[in-house]
Amino acid sequence: MPEILVHIAEGRSAESKKALMQDITDAVVKNFGVPPDRVVVQIVESPKHNKSRGGVLFSEM
Indicate which residues carry an active-site annotation: 2
Contact 11, 50 (CB under 8 A): no
* φ and ψ at residue 57, rounded to 5 degrees: -60, 145
Q: How many CB atoms lie within 10 A of CB 22?
A: 12
